[in-house]
Structure 1
Amino acid sequence: MRRSSIGWKLIRLHTILVYIFMFTPIVVVIVLAFNPKQFGIFPMEGFSFRWFVKLAQNDSIIDAFKNSLILGGLTAVLSTSIGIMAALAFIRFDFRGKNTINTLLLSPIMIPEVVLGVALLLFLRFLQQPKSFALLLIGHVVLTLPYVLLIVQARLVGIKKEYEEAAKSLGANGFQTFMEVTFPLLLPAILAGALFSFTISFDDITATLFWATAENQTVPVKIFSMLRNSISPEINALGTVMIVMTVATPLLAGYLSRKFTNLKA
């Protein structure tokens, strides 16, 4: 019994050390974002929003933010739309090759992003097509679609088919049944999938490095290029903004999902 107690204490200590190792750099970045000095020193000599102001005045970073927001929004719309239709097909219908197609759509989760990035880039080179925003969008849809598909499928499995059959028996067509019955019940999963796909797209850097052009740089790629050239305090401010958005979006997804859970099947 005593050995078991010591073992659990060691596990707790190891867990705490892992969390400290993981989150200390994030805390340091956030703290240094409010440092008024050019170089990071502890203890800080004051508190200032100086670097956030400079960040807002940096046109290249603002353009990168616009690109990331547009790309993330379009990715969320396309991934969610395709994910809804695919989930309905896989759950509500039987057809030849269903399992194979479902596995292919989910396979990007199991493939490293570096491999996906290089593969799509080489495929476009084979087709003699240049890198563009459309390529970036396609790549991000491929990356995020599996997550939307899994979330929507999990929700759709729990929705009784009898509700849809009852609506059809009362004279509703397929589209009316989907909009009046299926869609409201799927809404928590749809919102969660859209927000998660936006977060993944907004935060991705590994695959985006292979697909982005100089005109279509996203915020993570911009941070990476800034770190390669010099270490500016603006990077801490930009990193803080990225951390807040990356954390806030999944939390919003969870909140909206719980808010709409009263629409249970």
Structure 2
Amino acid sequence: MFRISGWSLIRLYTLLVYIFMFAPIVAVVILSFNPQQFGSFPMQGFSFQWYLKLVQNEAILSAFKNSLLLGSLTAVTVTAVAIPAAMAFVRYDFPGKNTLNTLLLTPIMIPEVVLGVALLLFIRWLQQPKSFLLLLMGHVVITLPYVLLVVQARLVGIKRVYEEAAMSLGANPLQTFKEITLPLLTPAVLAGMLFSFTISFDDVTATLFWATAQNQTVPVKIFGMLRNSISPEINALGTVMIVLTISTPLIAGYLIRKFARGGTIN
């Protein structure tokens, strides 16, 4: 009598979960090369026409530029805030440290819909219109906790003795940070920047509340296109987003390993 073990059922269940998760992504990538207007299997040929139309679509190109600019500014701004904040929380003691640290990490536990509505209402209360600056502020709030956690975790692993040795040899705090602490933090800083860029580039839930017609991002543009009609260009645009989203963490991992090997102190 054929018997199925518990581990076999777990493996089968895991395989079905992965198929359920990734089959739609694979379908989007395959249909982006479909020459027909409407997707069907098997495809009647292979074509790059939807990618060509995507390049010629000024609205999509504008949204793509907005996403790249917004993601880059978010990564730079968040990193500039996270590094001194992590240094303060890990290296120093001051009144209200735990409370302030908790407040900065709170956006992780709050749904993005709530954050989107809250920031929008706050801007309305200040009687300020929606703008690109509002988008940047919102994305900084969303991504700051992730970068702060990454930098703090790396900073905790850096022994204070290295910094004390540098200061005992005559280096001031700024020189110690520049020559000792920052090189050791570089892997975490790069990881945090790329991580925040990816989160900002892919965010759609909160961005829907903050974007204007002139400052639409790629995810918001895709959402708007899906509401009006299902165009094959969406498959091509989705494939570009998938490639960019996957390649960014891979590049981050490569850079982290490279800098970690070069920045290790024995």
Q: Which category describes the TM-score, using the shorter chain as reference length?
A: over 0.9
Q: C-alpha deviations, 1:81-127, integer Å up to 9, x for none?
A: 10111000000100000000000001100111001001111111111
Q: C-alpha deviations, 1:167-195, integer Å up to 9, x for none?
A: 11111111111111001000000000000
Q: C-alpha deviations, 1:7-31, integer Å up to 9, x for none?
A: 1111111111111001000000000
Number of residue equivalences: 263
Q: Distance in 1 between matches of 2:126 and 2:5?
A: 61
5 Å-filtered alignment, 1:92-171, equals 92-171=91-170
Task: Tell whether 2:23 aligns with 1:24.
Answer: yes
Q: SS in structure 1 opposite 2:260? A: coil
Q: What is the deviation of 1:264?
A: 2.9
The percent of aligned pairs where both chains have the same amino acid is 75
Q: Distance in 2 between matches of 1:146 and 1:24?
A: 32
Q: Distance in 2 between matches of 1:51 and 1:255?
A: 32
The AA in structure 2 aligned to 1:134 is L
Partner residue of 1:260? 259
Q: Distance in 2 between matches of 1:29 and 1:209?
A: 23
Partner residue of 2:6? 7
Partner residue of 1:250? 249
The AA in structure 1 aligned to 2:6 is G
- In structure 2, stretches of 5+ residues that fail to align are none
Q: SS in structure 2 opposite 1:114? A: helix
Q: SS in structure 2 opposite 1:144? A: helix
Cα RMSD over matched residues?
A: 1.2
Q: What is the deviation of 1:41?
A: 1.4
Q: C-alpha deviations, 1:56-102, integer Å up to 9, x for none?
A: 00000000000000000000000011011100000010000000000
Task: Tell whether 2:196 aligns with 1:197.
Answer: yes
The AA in structure 2 aligned to 1:41 is S
Partner residue of 2:49? 50
Q: Distance in 2 between matches of 1:73 and 1:40?
A: 34
Q: Distance in 2 between matches of 1:143 and 1:255?
A: 25
The AA in structure 2 aligned to 1:247 is I
- In structure 1, stretches of 5+ residues that fail to align are none
Q: C-alpha deviations, 1:123-156, integer Å up to 9, x for none?
A: 1111111111101000000000001000000000
Q: Distance in 2 between matches of 1:155 and 1:17?
A: 36
Q: What is the deviation of 1:43?
A: 0.8
The AA in structure 2 aligned to 1:89 is A
Partner residue of 1:224? 223
**4+ residue runs over 6 A deviation:** none
Q: Distance in 1 between matches of 2:154 and 2:264?
A: 9
Partner residue of 1:86? 85
